[in-house]
Copies of this chain bind each other. A is one copy, B any other.
């Protein structure tokens, strides 16, 4: 068990490393040559331009103004200065709500910490149970924890009362926050400009028709069943091959640029390359010629493939984006069932065009169900049995394993340095690689499950990752042993024993989690702000590939909030805070520092750096809410288990009411707020429609929507959203006459 001195040492070390990251950041961000890395958001917005026009050549790259270095921490107040409405406008609602999760952590834990320090710390400290027990080693932290209270003491009533306060305070703050976020979302949706997804519904599982093409079938179905509201539709092409070709061509172009630049800088040597994989083997050829011809070949292939996709009816998948004349019409279609067979003509709100995950639009109903079953089973095994393949790979990577498989390497392996590396570091690295790959594995599983938008893929992966962390980090740290051993234990132990086992082990692990928070939380967040990987990538690309300002723009990777990875990690801190708020309150300040520091860092990042790939309007909030409540219930059950071992007879009935109330609170909040994140109310749609009809009576919606939902490869370089174009047709937004235009719009409609 770590003593208080160890904790202090660790805290100092981690604070120092965090400080080092911050200083490095403060220096690097002031250099003009790094400007694009640390202010990429502003470049994307076109507000900032590089290189700075004034000054000498050196000044373009290095900041020589000493005064700016003195104020090296001034990004912190700057990050906090932008008011929230402006932030939403600047970075989108997703980002603004995301950082509110950290704020929520502060709102919950600052008052709870004050209460716990005022009530529980004195109660625990004066318990003196540990001092009386002889032969026990304990630290100052343990003296402040519930372990220091003697069995059957009346002092436990203080803990029970605090547990009630924790529950009610958390629920109260969560309720208020849900209310605020819902209001923000509704305001955001209401104040939004016209967007294609407001008028559009994604229709999947269009049934095959022997006489009609998919496009005709969709057209006819919606003309008949939504006669007053149907406007147009866009079929979905299976352009996966084409997208691959485009991607390949882009990579070849990069190589071509690289070799051309190389040649320009050193015209004496003609650059060479090899034709094999990664240019490592194969015939040696002239690099510039090779890539020029390859790009020409690819261009031809691309043209052929493009024509094939556009003309082949088989390249059209049984899905379509159907647009309506009004938001009301789209809201109605998205929320209702179309056919008596609920597995065909499935409608849902279209994700915004950037958010569509094109590969999953054409999965039949039965296949979708089977995929979900398989992925559920696979995820179960991944969570509980991932250590088995890891251990197998680790055994392969042992000295004997490598000697057996690859006898060629024997002389190498028998060197002392390599040997100790393999024995000491490799197993840890293999586990670490798995943990780094894990979010990608989970994302791949979510993709197989068939979600149709990037935002839902992110949410789904986050759910999986949260469960994985819960089992393998939280429970795995408290009860030692691999997950499948725990599983066995949970099956073989009575349900009342599990909270006891975990609850009793819990106070002992407080010091471990304090260290964990400092390493993963404090130093990890400080590393985040330094953006080391994009920093290096930018400078590499900038040196070898960049020719024009547009190239430089593309070389910058602004990154984005990675919801599927970072949100489950925050949840771990919520869980730790809730669990230890009654048991070991000394943990709370560390969590509060984490939340405050993260809030500042991520607020800075979303203002200056990140560029979100999509905007879902905070659709993830119900998940965040549910997971915090899950953490709350876990904390209640563990405390119940812990107290039941302390010989206080009345604690169980008093404690059992808390999870019941919490679960009820969850159901209540779900009924009260969740639909705001799933459905779009008709009243709001009507208000927006009426307003638009009054302010823009001549809008041609059909032209506006024409290319909104085209697969990105067909858009080429123009990735801007289509703007409204007026043409000779009447304004189709105002449905004053019953549409007799169906046949007309049908003849107009085409691939």
Judging by beta carbons under 8 Å apart, are A675 and B494 in contact? no
Residue interface bits A326-353, CB-to-B below 8 A is 1, else 0? 0000011001111110110100000000
Given A494-B492, A671-B342, A672-B365, also A225-B335 (CB < 8 A): no
Given contacts A671-B343, A671-B369, contact A337 B681 (CB under 8 A): yes
A676 within 8 A of B: yes
Question: A668 to B371, alpha carbons, bound, how many Å?
Answer: 12
The stretch from A100-108, A278-286, A733-741 touching chain B is: A733-741
Judged by a CB distance under 8 angstroms, whether A315 is at the interface is no
On whether the beta carbons of A336 and B338 are closer than 8 Å, the reply is: no
Q: Which of B331, B369, B668 contacts A369 (CB 8 A)?
A: B668
Chain A residues 670 to 700 lying within 8 A of chain B, measured CB to CB, are: 671-676, 679-684, 686
Contacts of A332 in B (CB 8 A): 332, 336
Interchain CA distance A496-B492 in the complex, whole Å: 6
Q: Nearest chain B CB to A219's CB is how many angstroms away?
A: 15
A157 within 8 A of partner (CB): no
Query: Are B339 and A683 in touch, CB under 8 angstroms?
Result: yes
List residues of A (637-691) whose CB comes within 8 Å of B's CBs. Answer: 660, 664, 667-668, 671-676, 679-684, 686
A567 within 8 A of B: no
CB closest residue in chain B, given A668: B369
A342 contact set on B, CB distance < 8 A: 671-676, 679, 681
| A611: Cβ under 8 A from any B Cβ | no
Alpha-carbon distance between A373 and B342 when the two chains are bound, in angstroms:
32
A492: shortest Cβ distance to chain B, in Å?
A: 5
- Bound-state Cα–Cα, A623 to B641, Å: 36
Tell me the A734-750 residues at the B interface (CB within 8 Å): 735-738
Expressed in whole angstroms, the minimum distance between the Cβ of A658 and any Cβ of chain B is 13
Is A676 a contact of B340 with CB atoms below 8 Å?
A: yes
Chain B residues near A671 (CB-CB < 8 A)? 342-343, 365, 369
Residues of B within 8 A of A675 (CB): 337, 342
Q: Do residues B339 and A336 form an inter-chain contact, with CB atoms below 8 A?
A: no
Residue of B nearest to A226 (CB): B682
Q: Provide the A474-516 mask, 1 if CB < 8 A to any CB of B, else 0.
A: 0000000000000000111111110000000000000000000
Q: How far is the CA of A224 from the CA of B667 in the complex (A)?
A: 32
A197 proximity list for chain B (CB < 8 A)? none
- Which among A336, A339, A366, A660 has the highest number of chain B CB atoms within 10 Å? A336
User: Closest CB of chain B to A141's CB: distance in Å?
Assistant: 33
Give the size range of A's interface with the partner: 35 or more
Cβ of A717 under 8 Å from chain B: no
Cβ-defined contact, B495 with A340, below 8 A: no
Residue of B at shortest CB range from A669?
B369
A186 on the interface (CB 8 Å rule)?
yes
Contact status B225-A682, CB under 8 Å: yes
Q: Which residues of B contact A667 (CB under 8 A)?
A: 369
A228 located at the interface, meaning its Cβ lies under 8 Å from any Cβ of chain B in the complex: yes
A682 CB contacts on chain B under 8 angstroms: 225-226, 336-338
What separation, in Å, do the CA atoms of A683 and B341 have in the docked complex? Answer: 10
Is the CB of A377 closer than 8 A to any CB of chain B? Answer: yes
Q: Chain B: which residue is nearest A496 at the CB level?
A: B491
Copies held by the complex: 2
Q: How far is the CB of A288 from chain B (nearest CB, A)?
A: 56
How distant is A338 from chain B, measured CB to nearest CB, in Å? 5
Known: A225-B683, A339-B683, A494-B494. A664 touches B738 (CB 8 A): no
Known: A365-B671, A494-B491, A495-B495. A340 touches B737 (CB 8 A): no
Kindly provide the distance from the CB of A90 to the nearest chain B CB, expressed in whole angstroms: 25
Complex: how many Å from CA A337 to CA B182? 15
Give the complex CA separation of A402 and B731 in angstroms.
86
Q: How far is the CB of A685 from chain B (nearest CB, A)?
A: 9
Q: Which residue of B lies closest to A488 (CB)?
A: B496
Closest Cβ–Cβ distance, residue A276 to chain B (whole Å): 46
Cβ < 8 Å to B, chain A residues 580-626: none
Whether the Cβ atoms of A686 and B186 lie closer than 8 Å is no
The one of B493, B668, B679, B680 that contacts A494, using a Cβ cutoff of 8 Å: B493
A737 nearest CB across to chain B (Å) = 7
Give the distance to chain B from A491, nearest Cβ to Cβ, in Å.
Answer: 5
Say yes or no: A336 contacts B340, CB within 8 Å: no
> Are the CB atoms of B225 and A686 closer together than 8 Å?
yes
Q: Which residues of B contact A495 (CB under 8 A)?
A: 490-491, 494-495
Give A403 to B549 CA distance when docked, in angstroms: 102
Q: Is the CB of B676 within 8 A of A338?
A: no
Q: Could you tell me the distance between the alpha carbons of A682 and B680 in the complex, rounded to whole angstroms?
A: 18
Q: Provide the bound-state CA to CA distance between A377 and B547, in Å.
A: 71
CA distance A675 to B497 in the complex (A): 41
CA distance A228 to B373 in the complex (A): 44
Residues of chain B contacted by A672 (CB below 8 angstroms): 342-343, 365
**A337-B675, A338-B681 provided; 7 other pairs, C-beta below 8 A?**
A332-B336, A365-B672, A373-B660, A491-B494, A492-B496, A735-B738, A738-B738
Query: A-B pairs with the 3 shortest C-beta distances?
Result: A342-B675, A337-B679, A335-B336
30 A-B pairs in the complex with CB atoms less than 8 angstroms apart: A186-B340, A224-B686, A225-B683, A332-B332, A335-B335, A337-B679, A337-B681, A338-B682, A338-B683, A340-B676, A340-B683, A340-B684, A342-B671, A342-B674, A342-B675, A342-B676, A342-B679, A343-B671, A365-B671, A365-B672, A369-B664, A491-B494, A492-B496, A493-B494, A494-B494, A494-B495, A494-B497, A495-B495, A735-B738, A736-B738
The interface of chain A, by Cβ under 8 A from chain B, is 186, 221, 224-226, 228, 331-332, 335-340, 342-343, 345, 365-366, 369, 373, 377, 490-497, 660, 664, 667-668, 671-676, 679-684, 686, 735-738
